[in-house]
Amino acid sequence: MEVTLSPLNMQPIETIAIIGAGNMGSGIAQKSAQELFDVQMVDREEQWVNRGQETISNFLAEAVERRIFSPEQVEGIKKRVTSVVGVENVSRDTDLVIEAVFEDFDIKSAVFNTLDSACGENTILASNTSSLSVNALAEATARPDRFVGLHFFYHPAKNRLVEVIPSELSSPETVARVEQYCKMLGKVVIVCKDRPGFVVNRFFVPWLNEACLLLEEGIASTAQIDAVACKAFDIGMGPFALMNLTGPPIALHATNYLAEQLNTPRYTGAKSLQDLVGAGAMWDIGDDENCSVDAATTISERLLGQVFAVSAQIVSEEICSMEDVDRGAKVGLRWMNGPFEIMNSIGISEAYRMAKSYANLANFTLPDFFAIKAETGYGWDFNFIDVVQRGGVATVRLNRPEAMNALNETVVGQLGAVLDDLNSDSSVTTIALEGAGKAFVAGADVKFFVDKIRADSFPDIYEFTANGHVVLDKLENSPKTTVALTTGLALGGGLELALACDYRVGTRRTQFRFPETSIGIYPGLGGTQRTVRICGIEAARWAVLAGNFIDHKTAYALGLLTHLVEPAEVTSTVESISITGKPNQKYPHAPLQAEHPIATFTSAFYNDQNMATLLSGNCPEGFDVDDRNIGRQLKSLSRTAPIALKMANELLDAATSTTLEEGLNLELKGLENIFSTADSLEGLSALIEGRRPNYSNS
């Protein structure tokens, strides 16, 4: 468990200015406006600001075509981006100004000099940089305590990763406020030390250069190196294709910078890369992907060894944790697995051998901890739970954003251990759960269930679920006030985790769903029991049996959310809850807003009298099957697994006449019956394979 202290009474960032209207600047502005921030997009000439606005318009037009946004939403986004000509004209009371100009120290310094005069004393300044020293940039400002480095990844409106780099003089409040802003953008945030390359570029840029060295050594062609790299790292694009996408000059500049800053000549741009950039050309990648076994071995071991060696350096220099190295690779680069996960898959001893070989080529020494770990033969252990304590409030972050924080055996076990510690800690009055990235928790790890069913290992499924019940009980019966910060997507087991808490705080990004009956099972972590006790049997049937998506307003109306606030108000809301303490009535057995349209509909449609008709696939009397809402409900029910639907309904009914403990035990008792059905395997497999299931009622 990692425990971090952060400042109290933190004021949220609400107004943004972006200096530079190029691809990065306009992308940051667009993403900020999408998340309802008012944004000033600033450049030195009107033509550049106009170009930035045009870039945003083009991206948003594409989003409309792909049905990501409606035309009305796009107009709202555009209106939130105000054009400003001249850095000196930034609004004085702006909360955060992000500089996103050329990667040139002198140019950036000049921008900050102007901003120091133009901005009020409370304005935070940030530099979007992929390479320059944040400490040096901070010293170029008159407010080093209110300065941080940011590294947004291209394209900022799409890529979910951002590295936050404090300077040595950045105040804790500054870092916390900027981190909160990034999270409000839905970003996965890595807070890291100011070292050349930060996290991702530290291992990724030399990886690109190493591919160029392999090429000029005549080991293989560009196509062959790309093909071997894709197989070795389980990625979609090799190094040469990636350089063509982002531009070879960027790769050359970045690798030369690292070579200089880290005094590592191995990183100096390969002659093949220098010649290509000098000619203004792109890599010629043919179709000759097949190479000899020896060549493939050399390519994979060199590229893997380089990544392993540099990743170990990153951890040794305490730039960030090994978990964050892996998150950077998976979220920022879209790798299937991070460097340390790949080491585990091929074996630590083999990984160390490859890293040692590369370290000899690069003329640097591997960290001692790597050699010690290799001698043990055991893989790396990963921590997916972080704890941040602010006063009496301990925020528990499920930090597995690349998998949308899905619950697996490791996460459940670590969460249980953390809750034990916090429940017994007298300095803690409130426990708040949150998920890293855009999701709270997107359910349980479905592949686990599929693997266990196919291996005929039901006891493992039972043990995992029973352990989940034990962990949720640590929230249900915690002596502390428990809060779920469901400010993103919460599905299945994630929603069940939230319902075990005393309070659930949501924002406009909140979205709930119980998908279980449509994938051949039923909610097995209390979803059939706590939902009824929170919002009543009729609303619970609507949520659980039909698996309806529940938006933030509906979730609040039904009582699934206890607080619905603006994203900037989440922290203050938790502090207020902490003062209030545990609720007088956690389970009201009725919607919070009985007059809400969904509440009134569920009361009429999913009442006891209609259930036999609905379960038989028919429309109850008095309802028009051609009505859009009625038709949607009947269609959703028809797509569920019949056995799962029947068992879920029985469990919901049981919740009206049993204690919570008795009802939870009934969920556990039914697990073997549901997971032994052919439909459970079909539904879960179809979800993984991205197809519609075909149920046989068996």
Task: Catalogue the active-site residues.
Answer: 130, 151, 163, 201
Q: Is 433 exposed, middle or buried (0-12, 13-18, 19+ CB in 10 A)?
A: buried
Residue with tokens 């890291």: 192
DSSP 8-state symbol, 582: S
Tokens of 539: 């609303």
Residue with tokens 């690349």: 402
Q: Which residues of 316-341 are buried (b: 16+ CB within 10 A; e: fewer)?
A: eeebbbbbbbbbbbbbbbebebbbbb
Nearest to 501 by CA among 648, 396, 400, 653: 396
The gap from C-alpha 683 to its chain's centroid, in whole angstroms, comes to: 25
**Radius of gyration of the chain, Cα coordinates, nearest whole angstrom:** 27
DSSP 8-state symbol, 407: B
564 and 556 Cβ atoms separated by less than 8 Å:
yes
**Residue 504 forms beta bridges with which residues?**
484
Q: Which residues of 611-646 are buried (b: 16+ CB within 10 A; e: fewer)?
A: beebeeeebbeebeeeeeebeebbebbeebbbbbbb
The gap from C-alpha 381 to its chain's centroid, in whole angstroms, comes to: 20
DSSP 8-state symbol, 248: H
37: Cβ contacts below 8 Å, ≥ 6 apart: 14, 15, 16, 80, 184
CA distances from 189 to 147, 152, 328, 550 (A): 17, 10, 9, 27
What sections of 328-423 are H helices per DSSP? 339-346, 348-362, 368-376, 409-423
566 and 510 Cβ atoms separated by less than 8 Å:
no
Tokens of 373: 């770990």
412 and 468 Cβ atoms separated by less than 8 Å:
yes
Cα separation of 151 and 165, whole Å?
8
